[in-house]
Structure 1
Amino acid sequence: MSRRRKALVAVTAGLATVSLGLSFTSAAGAAPGAKTDPNGLKLVKTKTSLFGTHYWYQQTFKGLPVIDGYYAKHVTKSGTTEIADGRDAVPADLDVSAKVQAASATQSANSAVTARANRARIAGPGKSLTQQPAATSGAAQLAVIGGPNARLVWNVTSRSTEGVSRSLVDAKTGSVVASKVISDNVDGHGSVFDPNPVVSEQNEKLTDMNDKNQDALFLAQKNVILRNLDGSGKLNGSYVNIKEAKGGIAQNKNNNFIYQRANDKFEQVMAYYHVNQTQEYIHSLGFTDVNNESQDFSIDTFAGDNSFYDPSTDMITMGEGGVDDAEDAEVIWHEYGHAIQDDVVPGFGESEQAGAIGEGWGDYWAVTNSVPVSKGFNLPCVMDWDATSYTTDEPHCLRRTDGTKTTDDIDGEVHDDGEIWSRALWDIHQNLGRTKANKLILEATFFYDPDTSFAAAAQDTVQAARLLYGKAAAQTVTDAFKARKIL
């Protein structure tokens, strides 16, 4: 454990005589008892551990808290004492009358936090994103900053898409002195299908039954940890923001989000868990700037049997027609694939072939994310559970990524033509392995043009393979595209 230990080089009048009241200069000092002592120390917490008692004090100046100023006294059961002195020097003549009002300081702080949150969502030059909701304030209190730049400040707590921030606003000038996120990511608990009940139960006979709870579907639910939550009690976190949902946003102060599938909030948990999982996987590949934001979702708000990503609002909408789309992780991953490409390549999909690449990539991304949890069942079928509502043949699939189409079969419909691209990616996956394939495919995406062609995007992918893994890997990728008559 590391501790900050600071010497007082210019003490205030209140701290000048350390021997007054409690003595913290020797192990034999008086036991802490008073809430505030003449040295400006305010007892804020007493904790008991296996080895002793721990007294934590807030440093104050003229009744105001000193930012980050602390003093701790650890008294063991054997009678020894350890001191951790984290006080800052404050000039005795520091004026603690504010010229700037709390409301003005709050406005300045919230503006700074909102601007930072928006900057954090911009992935690269030219990226145009919808402005995020303005930060809101919880409280503004006067405080003191000690040290060589001692001053009176307003300590403003704000909420934004980043979580909870603390901003210090100079109470004389109104300028924002410092601002940082102080909230921590927390873990929650949820229940999900992983990736969907057809796959996890290996049962093609399952049907939706108009969203009813069923014993077979209850058995398909899996209890999971929901990582990277922002602690707000909602399904908001580093990579997912459930912005709107049928029946209202799921909320739980203890971050427990366990529902059966008939509850519309179940789909909110699905979206949060599976997008968080796929972003953690992307990070494990070494990428820190692939849609590295809190992606907005609208859950069960579209009555049709369709889901879509809207680049104009950076929102993924999950439909509720047939099987609720967000009950199938492969639908979620497909739509998230579109958000990934739009984030990496602003305006991606301007040509028909670029649009087909987007659809093929979305199908591929759904399948490759299913690989670790599918136990090989019916790969590479796409959207097994969702497809039970509109297909009669078994296995139930919307599409597959192992089809036989080549560029000879191009018909101008992006989903049809996307099957050409997804097969090439699946062949790369099969021949190079999941990790290498996904790493080089994501890397290649950064070099796509918004209106790219099959051939141009294939060449980018071959080049990424060559740079990452050498000539043999590049030849494997080339062969996959040649088999589709793309190269």
Structure 2
Amino acid sequence: MSRSSLRRTVAGGATLAAGAALLAGVAAPTAGAQPAATSAAAAVPAGLVPVRTLTSLLGTHAWYAQTFHGLPVVDGYYAVHTLTSGTSVADGRRSVPATLVTTPALTAQTALGRAASARTAAASAAAGKAVAAGHPKNAPLAPAVAGDSRATLAVVGGPDAAIVWQVITTGDDGESRTLVDARTGAVREVRSLSKNAEGPAATPAGTDATGTASVFDPNPVVALRDESLTDGKDANSAVPNRAYVTVALPRLLPGSTTLSGRYAKVTKAAGGLAKSAGHDFTYRRADDRFEQANAYYGIDKAQAYIRSLGFTDVNNEPQRLHVDTYKGDNSFYSPTQDTITYGTGGVDDAEDLEVVWHEYGHAIQDAQVPGYGSSEEAGATGEGFGDYWAVSMAQPTSRGFDDPCVMDWDSTSYTTTVPHCLRRTDTGKTVADMTGEVHDDGEIWSNALWDVHQALGRDEANRIVLEAQFSYTPDTSFAAAARVTVATARSLYGDPAARTVRQAFAARGIL
């Protein structure tokens, strides 16, 4: 959402958890390290740790994380893309002096204390900025303050290279990372991480079960075409029964009595997990179990659609979900935990599938590109893709009701104008309108993708967008990502499609 929730919430996990942690977004890197074309796969340099290898429609993508003397280098990455059109390398390694001292002068315990103070101050500043701006929903996601913290040594590369304690804090309010200089004790950076996707977890053998649920698809405002609806403090009476639709919940794991499936898994929820031996998860919205069923349905539906396009390696896992566990008006994707958390402020976020799908968009991108979004423009493409993915997923059931409006139901709690929209994918914004805020600038990117969707059709557009993202870099620029997307359109559908995609980006001033 345009709240910190639907802003920057995702990360890249991996078969090697350590490798994934290296790439979870942290210190602002040098933006835009782009793939360099090669005629054959280059030998992988020393000092790299495999993170994951993914298969797309056009080839394979091998990702590595940079190390120095066995320590992770923050945001250092290396990727080899072997496609039908040739092989390319994306080299995002950070320079580290060979003489850098890697022995800490500061204990981990001291670093944890300094990080805690810095996180508290940063969270207060973020809250103040939101109030001052008069738009708290567009505030930067505050660093997680509550929860467990752990400190590990890492290296920051670049002109101010240093050995640091990397402090990861995880709690119900999200995840954050603080870098504390391990020699001087200075806090180098405090940043919200709330954004890892591991490989597919082992699942029980046997025949999957199919459950039943009542859900909103995509949300009550769209289903009833009624902008006057309000939350009514979660009352059943606030939303007419005709807004609900009875659906099947497929792919529930054999033997499971909870919402645990091949593509989605509710692992934590307010009031405990919904349980049914007969797989009947039919509730109304005043019952917190309704949001669990709604979120499961939305994530399962999105992954099933992705697979219908031919992809089998786009967030190929049961996505873990925490439902109604955050009491603020926010939702977020947490990187090291590989979880999406849905909040309860205003409209319970998991009641609006466009919120559910926006957050899943972050999980998708970081599954494809470990640590995605480590530059401002990459972050903006992430927010833009999340918004685009939400409206594209909603389009088949919206029956044309203001498709470009993002989160029509959730936004009724914090907008006064009609139609109620958190953001839109048809604002007409161009790069001349950039503000440096990832949600604002994301509307530029989402508008380009929506124009491609309108011109080429939903399935063709989404194959192009999803395939292209495999070859983005974590710190990509608008222009670099757009060029990759145009090239992908050409490889998949030929020159006419490539021209259409280029025109969409040109209209936004990106190309």
Query: Match of 2:407?
Result: 383
**Does 2:402 correspond to 1:362?**
no
> Which of the numbers 419, 432, 448 marks the counterpart of 1:424?
448
> Which of the numbers 217, 220, 241 marks the counterpart of 1:194?
217
Q: Aligned-pair distance for 1:122?
A: 5.9
Tell me the distance in 2 between the aligned counterparts of 1:163 and 1:406.
Answer: 46
Tell me the distance in 1 between the aligned counterparts of 2:231 and 2:202.
Answer: 37
> Which of the numbers 248, 256, 261 marks the counterpart of 2:272?
248
Structure 1: any 5+ residue segments left out of the alignment?
1-114, 129-159, 165-181
Query: Residues 123 and 289 of structure 1 are in contact (CA less than 8 Å); yes or no, is this contact kept in structure 2?
Result: no
Query: Residues 201 and 317 of structure 2 are in contact (CA less than 8 Å); yes or no, is this contact kept in structure 1?
Result: no
Alignment of 1:320-469 (within 5 A): 320-469=344-493
Tell me the distance in 2 between the aligned counterparts of 1:233 and 1:243.
Answer: 12
Tell me the distance in 2 between the aligned counterparts of 1:123 and 1:162.
Answer: 18
**Does 2:503 correspond to 1:479?**
yes
Tell me the distance in 1 between the aligned counterparts of 2:408 and 2:240.
Answer: 14
Tell me the distance in 1 between the aligned counterparts of 2:327 and 2:303.
Answer: 28
Q: What amino acid does structure 1 have at the position aligned with 2:226?
A: N
Residues 236 and 483 of structure 1: CA distance in aligned 2, closer, same or farther (over 3 Å): same
Tell me the distance in 1 between the aligned counterparts of 2:396 and 2:415.
Answer: 26
Query: Match of 2:263?
Result: 239
**Does 2:282 correspond to 1:258?**
yes
Residues 277 and 123 of structure 1: CA distance in aligned 2, closer, same or farther (over 3 Å): farther
Q: Aligned-pair distance for 1:184?
A: 2.0
Q: What amino acid does structure 1 have at the position aligned with 2:231?
A: D
Quote the sequence identity (%): 57
Residues 241 and 127 of structure 1: CA distance in aligned 2, closer, same or farther (over 3 Å): farther
> Which of the numbers 304, 308, 313 marks the counterpart of 2:337?
313
Tell me the distance in 1 between the aligned counterparts of 2:388 and 2:239.
Answer: 28
> Does the residue aligned with 2:378 lie in a helix, a strand or coil?
helix
> Does the residue aligned with 1:298 lie in a helix, a strand or coil?
strand
**Does 2:226 correspond to 1:203?**
yes
Query: Residues 123 and 343 of structure 1 are in contact (CA less than 8 Å); yes or no, is this contact kept in structure 2?
Result: no
Cα root mean square deviation, aligned: 2.2
Tell me the distance in 2 between the aligned counterparts of 1:122 and 1:236.
Answer: 25
**Does 2:202 correspond to 1:162?**
yes
Tell me the distance in 1 between the aligned counterparts of 2:290 and 2:342.
Answer: 13
Tell me the distance in 2 between the aligned counterparts of 1:360 and 1:203.
Answer: 26
Query: Residues 231 and 238 of structure 2 are in contact (CA less than 8 Å); yes or no, is this contact kept in structure 1?
Result: no
Q: Aligned-pair distance for 1:312?
A: 1.9
Query: Match of 1:284?
Result: 308
Query: Residues 325 and 331 of structure 1 are in contact (CA less than 8 Å); yes or no, is this contact kept in structure 2?
Result: yes
> Does the residue aligned with 1:486 lie in a helix, a strand or coil?
coil
Task: Give the count of matched residue pairs.
Answer: 324
Q: What amino acid does structure 2 have at the position aligned with 1:482?
A: A
Normalising by structure 2, we get a TM-score of 0.61
Residues 123 and 270 of structure 1: CA distance in aligned 2, closer, same or farther (over 3 Å): farther
Q: Aligned-pair distance for 1:427?
A: 0.4
**Does 2:245 correspond to 1:222?**
yes
> Does the residue aligned with 1:440 lie in a helix, a strand or coil?
helix
Q: Aligned-pair distance for 1:294?
A: 0.3
Structure 2: any 5+ residue segments left out of the alignment?
1-14, 17-50, 55-61, 66-199
> Which of the numbers 266, 275, 294 marks the counterpart of 1:270?
294
> Does the residue aligned with 1:350 lie in a helix, a strand or coil?
coil
Of the two structures, which has the highest relative contact order with CA contacts closer than 8 Å and spacing of 6 or more? 2
